[in-house]
Amino acid sequence: MSDVKKVVLAYSGGLDTSVIVKWLQETYNCEVVTFTADIGQGEEVEPARTKAQALGVKEIYIEDLREEFVRDYVYPMFRANTIYEGEYLLGTSIARPLIAKRLIEIANETGADAISHGATGKGNDQVRFELGGYALKPGVKVIAPWREWDLTSREKLMAYCEEHNIPVDFANKKKKSPYSMDANLLHISYEGGILEDPWAEAEDDMWRWSVSPEAAPDTPTYVELTYEKGDIVAIDGEPLKAHEVLEKLNKMGGDNGIGRLDIVENRYVGMKSRGCYETPGGTIMLRAHRAIESLTLDREEAHLKDQLMPKYAEVIYNGYWWSPERRMLQAAIDETQKNVSGVVRMKLYKGNAIVVGRKSDESLFDESIATFEDDAGAYDQKDAEGFIKLNALRLRIAAGKGRKQS
Amino acid sequence: MSDVKKVVLAYSGGLDTSVIVKWLQETYNCEVVTFTADIGQGEEVEPARTKAQALGVKEIYIEDLREEFVRDYVYPMFRANTIYEGEYLLGTSIARPLIAKRLIEIANETGADAISHGATGKGNDQVRFELGGYALKPGVKVIAPWREWDLTSREKLMAYCEEHNIPVDFANKKKKSPYSMDANLLHISYEGGILEDPWAEAEDDMWRWSVSPEAAPDTPTYVELTYEKGDIVAIDGEPLKAHEVLEKLNKMGGDNGIGRLDIVENRYVGMKSRGCYETPGGTIMLRAHRAIESLTLDREEAHLKDQLMPKYAEVIYNGYWWSPERRMLQAAIDETQKNVSGVVRMKLYKGNAIVVGRKSDESLFDESIATFEDDAGAYDQKDAEGFIKLNALRLRIAAGKGRKQS
Amino acid sequence: MSDVKKVVLAYSGGLDTSVIVKWLQETYNCEVVTFTADIGQGEEVEPARTKAQALGVKEIYIEDLREEFVRDYVYPMFRANTIYEGEYLLGTSIARPLIAKRLIEIANETGADAISHGATGKGNDQVRFELGGYALKPGVKVIAPWREWDLTSREKLMAYCEEHNIPVDFANKKKKSPYSMDANLLHISYEGGILEDPWAEAEDDMWRWSVSPEAAPDTPTYVELTYEKGDIVAIDGEPLKAHEVLEKLNKMGGDNGIGRLDIVENRYVGMKSRGCYETPGGTIMLRAHRAIESLTLDREEAHLKDQLMPKYAEVIYNGYWWSPERRMLQAAIDETQKNVSGVVRMKLYKGNAIVVGRKSDESLFDESIATFEDDAGAYDQKDAEGFIKLNALRLRIAAGKGRKQS
Amino acid sequence: MSDVKKVVLAYSGGLDTSVIVKWLQETYNCEVVTFTADIGQGEEVEPARTKAQALGVKEIYIEDLREEFVRDYVYPMFRANTIYEGEYLLGTSIARPLIAKRLIEIANETGADAISHGATGKGNDQVRFELGGYALKPGVKVIAPWREWDLTSREKLMAYCEEHNIPVDFANKKKKSPYSMDANLLHISYEGGILEDPWAEAEDDMWRWSVSPEAAPDTPTYVELTYEKGDIVAIDGEPLKAHEVLEKLNKMGGDNGIGRLDIVENRYVGMKSRGCYETPGGTIMLRAHRAIESLTLDREEAHLKDQLMPKYAEVIYNGYWWSPERRMLQAAIDETQKNVSGVVRMKLYKGNAIVVGRKSDESLFDESIATFEDDAGAYDQKDAEGFIKLNALRLRIAAGKGRKQS
């Protein structure tokens, strides 16, 4: 363990990662660089500076990555209408590649030879951090304290704090919750506690970002989202940066009880786990993106996107953002978004994000052809006969040869 | 046109198909057999008998196919969590194969050499009827009046009625609506009218099966759905047949404002069209089925199902139910449903169908492994290191050789 | 039929398309522009000029498209290791989009409002020409004489020639064969005649581009192919243009009895047909491309390419080169080819194209890790245990819960 | 290490696994049960009995599994036309699930709590053995000596033999080769030695099962293979069991220089490796199966099979035979094979396995429709116009709206 000289730690400023700072210094006898990022988790990041200093850290990185996070990670992912296992919007998964990238960049800047994080050995996040790290700096040493140390209970952790003079008020007060939580601009997640019983309904006071549908206003909110090349660039006509869009939609969605989700999911490490998620803005964005695509995408590219999406979601969920297969899929997805521009009108009401209108200069909807009224020859109904007969030909031949069709 | 002796017509009893009866008799100088089925469209089918008799039809088939429809078509489709283009639950598509099958069976019974239907030359339904017909009886003659005749406007149709003494009250009174509609136990659909402008919001009085979320009760309804091998067999503990399940869920969903959908979709014949759908029971079923699968399916079979689903949906939407590729996909899907048994608890509230609990004797959720508490050695966190390092190996090698990863 | 003013015809200079020139002039009373291209079919194209002039054609296009054909169509297709139905290298399919594109460009240059071709109503080529035409000029009128006229037998065609003074020596002498053939730089195809019986072995004198394996030299030929970004740029160290590469490989392959294929394939129009193909250079290229990719592609992008390939092949076979889905797939494929550079060494011998060596500066093959000898710690075998145990976790949980695994 | 009481070892009778017997007895102080199977590797298995006895083994299993191997593993795999990474016929991969299954069954019979094998920590085989073991007996203990011990060089191994009185003539004499080899009825594989340089051509004297194409007879061999439901049941009219088929085809193929392969492949553990394979019978079978399918499969099921195949191959290669996803894919594949019956005629000549004819009572090839001659109305060429126009509709609309198509 003597071969690590300097390690960059993903540091939240909370109790656990503060313990890790100390444990790394002691166990590896190395210098610790802390990296704390604002990715929209809704807590001040600046206080992490004093705490890190108190722990003897000399190189402290505190950064506002909200715009980069939404623009370069969330937005590209939403271009694919990405959902994991039919339900999950990948709120945690999509934040990890950015953290991994900054950990490595900071390691390169500071001459560190290792990185470290506070994720446990049972979850997906360790995988995401470490795959990213290895992909971007193949020789990096990764230290995952939760897989190594023996501080395996809250009591042992507290004893360690006392022994090492780590102020216990480093513990995040807001997190005095029975749940394991994670938050960023895209979502907040809850695991553990009574959620470990999949039959138990989540308690209403668990949720933090949204009111319940019951508590939401009795009148709907309408909103217009303007898309350019697959990304939202304005809300109700007001141009906004990527993270401002998501902040605003989170507010609107949360106020209207939108975006709560309660699922059992399959982790990459092989177990099922139960999680609850609040993704107010993302829930609106998913629906809206499909709506603008419904006007502007060709049918076959839309269907091909749908067939590739589960794989793309799996790649991100499993932690392979920094991989050739993700870039390959992204190239295909981005190729389709050139004309995904226009406006979607939505109605938000008590948990519902309803598309009520969509329009686009790039629309492929052809009213003159689709109409139930006289189409003035735009479409020749007689063409359908040949279309059907040749599409049926293989079936007719098979049936004619006595093949059973049912 | 003289070569048709007898034709079986999918006959609704409405004005359009009544005109078709007469037109077939005149144009093809042939006998017409009518076939009218109750598939849960919510209208009496028996009145079709008198109308058909009045038109001189001698062989009249009127059948209650509700149970067969849900059991053999809707249920198998829901085992795949089938959605077309991310939104549409295929309510119209899934009813057509059954109609096609009965048309052919009746043709065989009555010695008819042709079948006919009232679908237009622009839509998907003509394709679905005819592909089914050709697949099941390759030599059948198909007559699609809307592609052949010149009764291309409401005025011409009315003139034809008058000329041929077809009582205009054959026109379905309930359908005095500006929309083209289609209904069965799974859904009711709306097209045409102001919906031809994708920017226009659907009028609230268009919807027939559900109240608006706003008008739904202020208190939620809870319901428990019991699954056996992927299909719902009981509601709140009461065993029900397939069609009874759907009828009950339609009522519960509709009462709670659940299942409205407003989309632009891509038709198989090549155009985009705007449609609104009410699928109250189906919307609940989709969510519930995913929930019971989340406990009982292995991860990899679940992911493979998700990758195959868009193709399966496309096959059904395009009218290829009676095809080798549908059977092939069904075999894969059904193979996975052997253990999809258990109970899902849902909360229905103002448009929301929310999963709040799920349990199963076949559950693969392992609390002892997933727990955030001490797992007593059920899972060795150290295994994760090797797992990650070998999964990262190809990325590390590439990065080590200087490959750009971002 | 009076609304066509000028039509651009894909004109081979042979008898059939000469009849079409005359038939178009007569039937549509329109001007005909002929377009004849050298795409490596192995016949002079210049003689088409005199013939067209003799038929009264004023605007005559004769072009050498060999380089463009291989560079912009064949090469991109081979980047995907494209094979249709496990066997067919798409030699005919890939030439059609280029012809369609030039037909439309010439129509635009000459102010023509229609295009025409000599493909029959049973085959794939009509689809490929016309889909391309419609995609590039949506309002174009397409005339497919074989679907319209009554010259349905050789006798009627000859009678028409006599009647209209079309010299019968316009008939392609080389094609005095019982087979329907098509050739370009990628392949020559044979259909019809005794091949219509799938049990009948093709006669040895049918084949034109290759000797039989039996007749090939008794000593092997070795060749080295240099790749840059997925394309061959040099043979045995000599830099060559795309079409020169293919010409040279056709010669080498043909001399060594390589590239004969005899299959039954599924046409897009719904029937099965039996075809024989000679693709000497393409057969070598496919093997070689896979070999250079085996060194330079990441595993997951390679596997994803393999999963997408059948769809990509289908898109091309069916005639959708000029489509959003082809561009989407191409974007994914091309993204993977950035590092597909290096040299493949092959042995050509009596029908066999054998890879015997491959090397690359971009190689991801890591001898120090792969070795059976001492790897000096490059790979820690103990990592495999965790890798396997976590990959097995879902299976162990399922088995532990009593799930049947066999 | 004291908790293992009895371990079942996959025992070849060779030197390495003999050392493992001793090492297991010493290290774990446990009883060893040996299991030796004839799966067509071409060596006597009975001698393993005396060797095991000499090592003090009391429970010795020696079994002829050739028929089961081909019938229940090789044949199902070939129904899918399975190839890994476009080249590899999975000869090693497909034998492992059977070995794993027997190891577990014997463990259950003998009351053993552990299994062991002689695969190294770098390869795929450890994964295949262990995934199978865990899937079939979740609580089994797996011992992989190569990942645990320090006998990491040939010298140390020999020293261990001397020290423990293991006769060195246990070393497989036939294997006095510079290559690491593995053989069963489907193939023999070679790795290591000079093959670790991917640019080096394999030496001709490495190959054992086939003559070189150069050394093969100058006259071709014709053979007829009879299929029933996707499997070969007779050769040249003579009914044979599955393993007899493969034995005979191996002989015929090997005699004609068929089935040599030289590739670089991607291992599941993350590295590339170079391997050479001889698969004479399998190479013939793959071609023949595609040929009989070309007559008897519907187009869409054939294409869907092709799209699923790479995934199926990956599942087997990675060791997941005993998994829900393999069963799911197998269900889809087997559903398609009901009509895959008939006869394929092949010509074997100097490395070439050429299909020259195929016939079937279940043929979907319709000569009356496919013919270039007068088809007497079996196919109406005019249908093609509507077919093309509707297939082009989406492209025409897009182009009409100004979308760039190239």
Confidence of residue C170 (pLDDT cuts 50, 70, 90): low
Q: Mark which of D111, D140, D164 sits at the end of a domain.
A: D164
Q: Measured between CB atoms, which of B298, B300, B324 is closest to D300?
A: B324
Burial letters for A201-221: b for 16+ Cβ neighbours within 10 Å, e otherwise? bbeeebbebbbebeebeeebe
What separation in angstroms does the CA of B357 have from each of A201, A274, B55, C22? 6, 10, 55, 75
Q: Check pLDDT > 70 for residue B132.
A: yes
> Does a structural domain hold residue D374?
no
User: Domain check: are C114 and C147 in the same one?
Assistant: yes
With tokens 């155009």, the residue in question is B271
More confident residue, D154 or C22: C22
Q: Check pLDDT > 60 for residue B173.
A: no
pLDDT at D176: 61
Inter-chain residue contact D135 with C270, CB threshold 8 Å: no
Torsion sign over Cα A228, A231, A234, A237 = positive
pLDDT at A371: 85
What's chain A's average pLDDT? 95
pLDDT at A171: 60
Task: Mutate one of A304, A372, A391 to test the B interface: name it (highest B CB count within 10 A).
Answer: A372
More confident residue, D157 or C285: C285
Inter-chain residue contact A300 with C394, CB threshold 8 Å: no
- Chain D residues at the B interface, defined by Cβ less than 8 Å, are 266, 269-271, 297-298, 300-301, 304-305, 311, 320, 323-325, 327-329, 331-332, 334-336, 390-394, 397
| pLDDT digit string, tens, across residues C194-242 | 999 999 999 999 999 999 999 999 999 999 999 999 999 999 999 999 9
Residues of D with a catalytic annotation lie at 16, 96, 125, 180
> Does a structural domain hold residue B396?
no
Which residues lie closer than 8 Å to C285 by C-beta, 6 or more apart? C78, C225, C232, C246, C249
Percent of chain A with pLDDT over 90: 90
What's chain D's average pLDDT? 95
| pLDDT digit string, tens, across residues D334-352 | 999 999 999 999 999 999 9
pLDDT at A168: 75
User: Domain check: are D195 and D106 in the same one?
Assistant: no
Query: Cβ(C383)–Cβ(B386) under 8 Å?
Result: yes
| pLDDT digit string, tens, across residues B112-123 | 999 999 999 999
Diameter over CA atoms, chain B: 86
Instruction: Please tell me which residue of chain B has the smallest CA distance to C386.
Output: B383
pLDDT at D172: 53
pLDDT at C404: 83
| pLDDT digit string, tens, across residues D92-148 | 999 999 999 999 999 999 999 999 999 999 999 999 999 999 999 999 999 999 999
| pLDDT digit string, tens, across residues C80-136 | 999 999 999 999 999 999 999 999 999 999 999 999 999 999 999 999 999 999 999
User: Domain check: are C159 and C192 in the same one?
Assistant: no
Q: Check pLDDT > 90 for residue B22.
A: yes
Strands C238-239 and D6-10, by their bridges, are unpaired
Confidence of residue B177 (pLDDT cuts 50, 70, 90): confident
Q: Check pLDDT > 80 for residue A161.
A: yes
Arithmetic mean of pLDDT, B91-107: 98
Tokens of C350: 């009596």
Query: Please, is A222 exposed, middle or buried when counting C-beta atoms within 10 Å of its C-beta (0-12, 13-18, 19+)?
Result: middle
Please state the domain count of chain A.
2
pLDDT at A2: 57
pLDDT at A376: 80
What's chain B's average pLDDT? 95
Query: Cβ(B14)–Cβ(B2) under 8 Å?
Result: no
User: Domain check: are A194 and A159 in the same one?
Assistant: no
User: Domain check: are A59 and A208 in the same one?
Assistant: no
Confidence of residue A378 (pLDDT cuts 50, 70, 90): confident
Query: Cβ(C221)–Cβ(C349) under 8 Å?
Result: yes
> Does a structural domain hold residue B397?
no
Inter-chain residue contact C386 with B387, CB threshold 8 Å: yes
Confidence of residue A274 (pLDDT cuts 50, 70, 90): very high
Contacts of A380 in chain C (CB under 8 A): none
Q: Check pLDDT > 60 for residue D175.
A: no
Instruction: Note the ipTM here.
Output: 0.96
3-state secondary structure of A273: strand
Confidence of residue B87 (pLDDT cuts 50, 70, 90): very high
Arithmetic mean of pLDDT, B294-303: 98
User: Domain check: are D10 and D137 in the same one?
Assistant: yes
Arithmetic mean of pLDDT, A42-62: 96
Query: How far out from the chain centre does Cα C23 lie?
Result: 30
* Least confident residue range of A1-10, A41-50, D47-56: A1-10
pLDDT at B155: 85
User: Domain check: are A147 and A201 in the same one?
Assistant: no
Residue D26: CB atoms within 10 A of its CB come to: 11
Q: Check pLDDT > 80 for residue D174.
A: no
Inter-chain residue contact A364 with D397, CB threshold 8 Å: yes
3-state secondary structure of C249: helix
Q: Check pLDDT > 80 for residue D20.
A: yes
Contacts of C401 in chain B (CB under 8 A): 362-364, 366
Tokens of B285: 């079923």
> Does a structural domain hold residue A239?
yes
Confidence of residue B186 (pLDDT cuts 50, 70, 90): very high
Residue B96: active-site member: yes
Question: Which CATH number do you get for residue B243?
Answer: 3.90.1260.10
Residues of C with a catalytic annotation lie at 16, 96, 125, 180
User: Domain check: are A146 and A199 in the same one?
Assistant: no
Arithmetic mean of pLDDT, D283-311: 98
Distance CA C353, CA A387 (A): 42
User: Domain check: are D17 and D120 in the same one?
Assistant: yes
Query: Cβ(A356)–Cβ(B355) under 8 Å?
Result: no
| pLDDT digit string, tens, across residues C245-262 | 999 999 999 999 999 999
pLDDT at B378: 85
Q: Check pLDDT > 70 for residue A174.
A: no
Q: In which order are the strands placed within the sheet that holds A180-183?
A: A180-183, A188-191, A272-278, A260-266
pLDDT at B77: 98
Q: Mark which of C132, C164, C196 sits at the end of a domain.
A: C164
Domain that holds residue C282: 180-297+339-359
Distance CA B212, CA B223 (A): 20
> Does a structural domain hold residue D400?
no
pLDDT at A63: 98
Which residue, among A100, A176, A175, A183, has the nearest Cα to A142 in the 3D structure?
Answer: A100
Confidence of residue D171 (pLDDT cuts 50, 70, 90): low
Inter-chain residue contact A389 with D398, CB threshold 8 Å: no
| pLDDT digit string, tens, across residues C40-94 | 999 999 999 999 999 999 999 999 999 999 999 999 999 999 999 999 999 999 9
pLDDT at C90: 98
Query: Please, is B165 exposed, middle or buried when counting C-beta atoms within 10 Å of its C-beta (0-12, 13-18, 19+)?
Result: exposed
Q: Check pLDDT > 60 for residue D316.
A: yes
* Least confident residue range of A314-318, B347-351, B400-404: B400-404
User: Domain check: are D119 and D213 in the same one?
Assistant: no
| pLDDT digit string, tens, across residues D248-295 | 999 999 999 999 999 999 999 999 999 999 999 999 999 999 999 999
| pLDDT digit string, tens, across residues A333-368 | 999 999 999 999 999 999 999 999 999 999 999 988
Which residues lie closer than 8 Å to D265 by C-beta, 6 or more apart? C294, D84, D85, D87, D88, D272, D273, D274, D275
User: Domain check: are B288 and B227 in the same one?
Assistant: yes
Inter-chain residue contact C269 with A393, CB threshold 8 Å: yes
| pLDDT digit string, tens, across residues C325-384 | 999 999 999 999 999 999 999 999 999 999 999 999 999 999 889 887 778 888 999 999
Q: pTM score, two decimals? A: 0.97
> Does a structural domain hold residue C272?
yes
- Chain B residues at the C interface, defined by Cβ less than 8 Å, are 298-300, 339, 362-364, 366, 369, 379-380, 382-387, 389-391, 393-395, 397-398, 400-401, 403
Question: Which CATH number do you get for residue A115?
Answer: 3.40.50.620
Residues of A with a catalytic annotation lie at 16, 96, 125, 180
Tokens of A116: 């470290």
> Does a structural domain hold residue D270?
yes
Q: Mark which of A164, A188, A204 sits at the end of a domain.
A: A164
| CA atoms within 13 A of residue A365's CA, in its CB half-sphere | 25
User: Domain check: are B346 and B202 in the same one?
Assistant: yes
pLDDT at B176: 61
What's chain C's average pLDDT? 95
Tokens of D305: 């099979």
Confidence of residue C171 (pLDDT cuts 50, 70, 90): low
